[in-house]
Amino acid sequence: MVLKVKMILVTGNKKGFTFFELMVSLAILSLGIVLVYQSFISTLNAYSYYLTYLGAQHWIDEKAWEIEDSLIREKKTIPYLENGKFIIKNKTIFYQVNINELSPSSLYKINISAQWEEKNRKANISSLYYVSE
């Protein structure tokens, strides 16, 4: 009697994942999650910056209209300098108003600038207006 032995190749019929394949897939998945998280955080930071920027621009426009009205009605002494602060979305914004008379024909230059700190950087916005009586 002759016994025949069949050799079965293990590599041809595997039904699962190896530990190495599992670790590589987890590393790729973790990298993808970190990249999505970083992009989400940077988007939130940009949103917060532009929300503050737009709020400060609106405030500056309102301040310019207020100054224009007071120049026409009250005749403020020129040159005029004002400093102060206001708060938008729990952020303190410092501003400076500078008014100069450009000519004897009652043309005024109004420069309003605002500065605030956004995360690790300083942000600022400045607007220039010309007003005549």
pLDDT tens, position by position, 70-91: 887 876 667 788 899 999 888 8
- CATH number for region 25-132: 2.20.130.10
Could you give the CA distance from residue 97 to residue 112 in angstroms, rounded to a whole number? 5
Cα dihedral 60, 63, 69, 70 in deg (nearest 10): -140
Long-range contacts of 129-132 (CB under 8 A, 24+ apart): 129/64, 129/68, 130/102, 131/67, 131/68, 131/71, 131/107, 132/105, 132/106, 132/107, 132/108
**Is the previous residue joined to 104 through a cis bond, with omega within 30 degrees of 0?**
no
Domain boundaries, the chain: 25-132
Q: Which of 71, 64, 69 has its CA nearest to residue 125?
A: 64
Kindly indicate the confidence band of residue 1, based on its pLDDT and cuts at 50, 70 and 90. Answer: low
> What per-residue confidence (pLDDT) applies to 34?
97
76 is written with which tokens?
């403020």
- Single-letter code of the amino acid located at 123: A
The number of residues making up the chain comes to 133
Q: Of the ranges 33-42, 63-72, 91-100, 120-129, which is most confident?
A: 33-42
Across residues 95-119, what is the average pLDDT? 87
pLDDT over 60 at 29, yes or no: yes
pLDDT over 70 at 13, yes or no: no
21 is written with which tokens?
């394949």
